[in-house]
Amino acid sequence: MNDMAKNLILWLIIAAVLLTVFNNFSVDSAPQSVPYSQFVQQIQNNQISKVTIDGYTIRGQRDDGSDFQTTRPAAQDPQLIGDLLEHKVVIEGKEPQQQSIWSRLLIASFPILIILAIFFFFMRQMQGGGGGKGGPMSFGKSKAKLLSQDQIKTTFKDVAGCDEAKEEVEEVVDFLKDPSKFQQLGGKIPRGLLMVGPPGTGKTLLAKAIAGEAKVPFFSISGSDFVEMFVGVGASRVRDMFEQAKKQSPCIIFIDEIDAVGRSRGGNMGGGGHDEREQTLNQLLVEMDGFEANDGTIVIAATNRPDVLDPALLRPGRFDRQVTVGLPDIRGREHILNVHLRKVPLADDVKPQLIARGTPGFSGAELANVVNEAALFAARRNLRLVGMRELEEAKDKIMMGAERKSMVMSEKEKSNTAYHEAGHAIIGLIVPDHDPVYKVTIIPRGRALGVTMFLPNEDRYSYSRQQLISQLCSLFGGRIAEEMTLGPNGVTTGASNDIKRATEIAHSMVAKWGLSEEMGPLMYDEDDSHQFLGGAGGSSMMGSGETSAKIDREVRKIIDECYSTAKRILEENRDKLDLMAQALMKYETIDTDQIKEIMEGKFPSPPKDSSDNGSSSGGAIIEQNGAGSAPSDDSKKPEQDGGSSDQSGDNTLGDSTR
C-alpha cells in the first residue's frame, strides 16, 4: 500500500475516533437507572421532587437528593403529567439534542472518502506502488536503479589489471570534482564513454569506481530494460531516465550491454526504421546530444559487441571515447589477485605471482572465481587459512574441470592413456620453441582422461611459424604413441580433439596467416574468429575451387611433415616414452622434477606430495595459443571441446589432453 493511501485512511480513523469522543463528552454522565413502574410508585409515595423529560428519557431527583433515570415506554402515559402536578413535582422539559454541522458533514462524507481512498489506492498500485515501478501503468517509467554517493563504496583501489583504462577515465572524475578547471580553457568533458572488452574484465566495476571517486549519484540500467512489447515504452523510459538524471546532476548513467538497444538501424527485415528498438535508439541519440543541454550528465556504456552499434551512437558528442578494457597481463593478474586475496585469510606460502603466471588469458572475474574456489576448498578441509595448495587446486579445477576420482578405468585403459600423455610430453620437451612441460596426469578431469600441461615463461601475443609447427608435432604425439604401442588397429578415438585442433592450426597457417610458401602471404579465409569480443564465429571461404584444392593440399603437406617429425622423435626416444608411461601408471601425476629425471634416463622419485596426486605447487597452466584464431590475439582461457564423452576432452592448443 502506498504512502498516500495510508495517510488518507489514517486521517479517516482519527476523525471517526474524535467524533465518537465528542459525542460521548456531549452527553452527561448517566445517573442510577430505575424501572418505569418503580418511578410511578415513587411519585405516588411523594418521593420525587424534580424531573426532567427528554423525549423517552426521564431524569429526576428524589426528596433525599439522590438522582435517578428511567425510560418511558413507547406508548404515551397520559396520566404522567397529571400525577406529577398532583404530587407537586417540579417538571422541566429539554429540547432534543442535535449534532453539530461538522459532525453531520463528516458522517455524510465518510462513505465518499472511503471510495476515494480505494480509488487512489488502486490507481497507485496500477502505477507500480509507491516506487512507481512494476505496475501496468508504469511502463513508461525508467527502470534505472539509483545509487546515491553514500551507497557507492567502490573506488579505483578496488580496480586492478586495467591501468590504461583507469587513466582514460580519471579525467572524467576530475571534471566531476572540479568542472571549472576544464571550462576555463574552453574544454568540454566527453558526453559518453563506451567501455569495450571481453566479459568479466571489469567494465561495470570501473564505471562504479568512477562514481565512487567522483562522489556523484549513479544510475544503473541494462540495455534490455528499455524494450517492452508495447510501442513507445522504450523511448518513454529513456526520456524519464534522463529527466531523473538532470535532477541529480552532476551524475553518471551506466547502461550495461548497450548493444541490446543500440544496434545499427535499418537492418531488420520488414520493420523498416519504425520498430520499437529503433525508436528507443532514436530517443537515446536525441537525449545524449540534442537541442536541449544535458550538461553534467555523463553516460557510460559497456558492451562486448562494438561492431553492431549504430554509427550515430559512436560519433563525437555522444560516445566520444571508446575505452578498451582488455584481458590483464601477468602484472595485471597479480594485482587483481592481490585485490581479491585481501578478503580471505592467507597462509604464508601463498605467492600471487605464481598464480598470475599460471593463469594467462584469465579475466578479472575468473581470477575472483579462483580465489573463491580456493576458499571453498579450505572450508571443506576445516582450515583456517587459504594456502597455495588450495589456490592451485582451484586453478586446475577451473581450467580442466573437477577430478573424477570415482571413475573406474581398467589397467589397459590407464596404460593407453599413460602412453598417450607421455607422447605429448616427450615431443613437447624435444621440439624447438615449445613451452616447457610442467605436469602430466592421467587422473580424469572433466571430459578428459588425462592432461599434459605446459608452462609458458611469459604471456604470448604472437606466434612464429616454428612455434606453430612444434605445437602441431606435440598434438600428434598422443596418437603416434598409441600407434607405436598398440599397432595401427589399436589406435583409439582419444586423439580426436588433437586432430581437430591440428587441422584448424594448419588451415589457418595456410589460409589466414600467410605462413605457407606455396600459397604466399594472402588471406583466403575471412578472419572473423572475433566476430564479437569474448566469442568466436565461423569463417567463410573466398576464392575459386582450384584455390580451395591448393589450400587443402598445402594443409595436408604441413600435417604430414609434422606427423613424420613427431613419429621420428618418439621412435628415437622409445625408452623415455616407456619410462614416463610406467611412472604415470605408478604415480598418476608427475611434475617438472620427475620429468627431468625421466629425460635423464632415470625412473623418477616419488612426488613431493604423494598423498594428493592431483595437486600441484606452482604456476602450472594449460598452454594458450588461440586455436583457430590469429596468434596475435590475446590468449584465451581454455574451453572444453565437444569430443567423445569418455575419450577426449582437450582444452586448447598446446594442452594435450586425452
State the average pLDDT over residues 575-602.
Answer: 89
Of 30-39, 78-87, 357-366, give the range with the top mean pLDDT.
357-366
Q: How far is CA 423 from the centre of its chain?
A: 42
- Tell me the C-alpha distance between 323 and 321, whole Å: 6
- Tell me the C-alpha distance between 238 and 283, whole Å: 7
More confident: 37 or 376: 376
Instruction: Find where cell 413502574 sits.
Output: 37
Q: Domain 28-93 adopts which CATH fold?
A: 3.30.720
- Nearest to 477, CA basis, from 499, 510, 453, 504: 499
151-200: per-residue pLDDT in tens?
778 888 888 888 888 888 887 888 777 777 777 877 777 788 899 988 88
- 443 and 509 Cβ atoms separated by less than 8 Å: no
300 phi/psi in degrees, rounded to 5: -115, 130
Of 35-39, 75-79, 120-124, 274-278, give the range with the top mean pLDDT.
35-39
19-28, 138-147, 380-389, 400-409: which has the minimum mean pLDDT? 19-28
- Tell me the C-alpha distance between 445 and 440, whole Å: 12
**Is cis: bond before 250, omega within 30 of 0?**
yes
477 phi/psi in degrees, rounded to 5: -60, -35
Q: What is the average pLDDT value for the chain, to the nearest integer?
A: 77
503-507, 509-513, 540-544: which has the minimum mean pLDDT? 540-544
- 245 and 251 Cβ atoms separated by less than 8 Å: yes
The one-letter code for the residue type at 138 is: S
Q: How far is CA 284 from the centre of its chain?
A: 24
Domain 145-324 has CATH 3.40.50.300: yes
- pLDDT for 574 equals 92
Give CATH 1.20.58.760 domain extents, the chain.
Answer: 411-657
The percent of residues in the chain predicted with pLDDT above 70, rounded, is 76
- 615 and 392 Cβ atoms separated by less than 8 Å: yes
- pLDDT for 6 equals 60
**Strand, helix or coil for residue 550:** helix
- pLDDT for 613 equals 41
| Whole-model pTM over 0.95 | no
Give CATH 3.30.720.210 domain extents, the chain.
Answer: 28-93
- pLDDT for 22 equals 55
- Tell me the C-alpha distance between 309 and 190, whole Å: 18
- 625 and 631 Cβ atoms separated by less than 8 Å: yes
pLDDT class of 267 with cuts at 50, 70, 90: low
Euclidean distance between the first and the last CA atom of the chain, given in angstroms as a whole number: 62
- Nearest to 313, CA basis, from 297, 295, 299: 299
58-62, 219-223, 364-368, 525-529: which has the minimum mean pLDDT? 525-529
Query: Hey, which residues does 93 pair with through a beta bridge?
Result: 53
Q: Quick check: 467 pLDDT over 80?
A: yes
- pLDDT for 131 equals 45
Indicate which residue of 421, 482, 483, 623 is catalytic: 421
State the average pLDDT over residues 600-623.
Answer: 56
- pLDDT for 293 equals 60
Q: Domain 411-657 adopts which CATH fold?
A: Methane Monooxygenase Hydroxylase; Chain G, domain 1 (1.20.58)
Give CATH 1.10.8.60 domain extents, the chain.
Answer: 330-399
Architecture of domain 330-399: Orthogonal Bundle (1.10)
- pLDDT for 638 equals 33
4-13, 397-406, 501-510, 560-569: which has the minimum mean pLDDT? 4-13
More confident: 333 or 530: 333
- pLDDT for 346 equals 92
The verdict on whether 421 is a catalytic residue reads yes
Secondary element (H or E) of residue 337: helix 330-341
pLDDT class of 655 with cuts at 50, 70, 90: very low
More confident: 633 or 485: 485
More confident: 38 or 527: 38
Question: DSSP letter string over 373-408?
Answer: HHHHHHHHTT-SSB-HHHHHHHHHHHHH--B-TT--
Q: Quick check: 620 pLDDT over 50?
A: no
- Tell me the C-alpha distance between 71 and 33, whole Å: 8
Q: Which strands form 218-222's sheet, in the order they lie side by side?
A: 145-147, 218-222, 251-256, 297-303, 192-196, 321-324
468-495: per-residue pLDDT in tens?
999 999 999 999 999 999 888 888 888 8
pLDDT class of 43 with cuts at 50, 70, 90: confident
Q: Quick check: 536 pLDDT over 60?
A: no
- pLDDT for 635 equals 38
Q: Quick check: 110 pLDDT over 60?
A: yes
288-297, 435-444, 649-658: which has the minimum mean pLDDT? 649-658
- pLDDT for 472 equals 94
- pLDDT for 344 equals 93
- pLDDT for 504 equals 93
Instruction: Find where cell 406508548 sits.
Output: 75
Residue 619: CB atoms within 10 Å: 20
- pLDDT for 291 equals 59
- Nearest to 609, CA basis, from 599, 619, 618: 618
- pLDDT for 125 equals 58
- 563 and 480 Cβ atoms separated by less than 8 Å: yes
- pLDDT for 555 equals 94
37-51, 387-401, 441-455, 601-615: which has the minimum mean pLDDT? 601-615
State the average pLDDT over residues 349-372.
Answer: 90
State the average pLDDT over residues 261-288.
Answer: 72
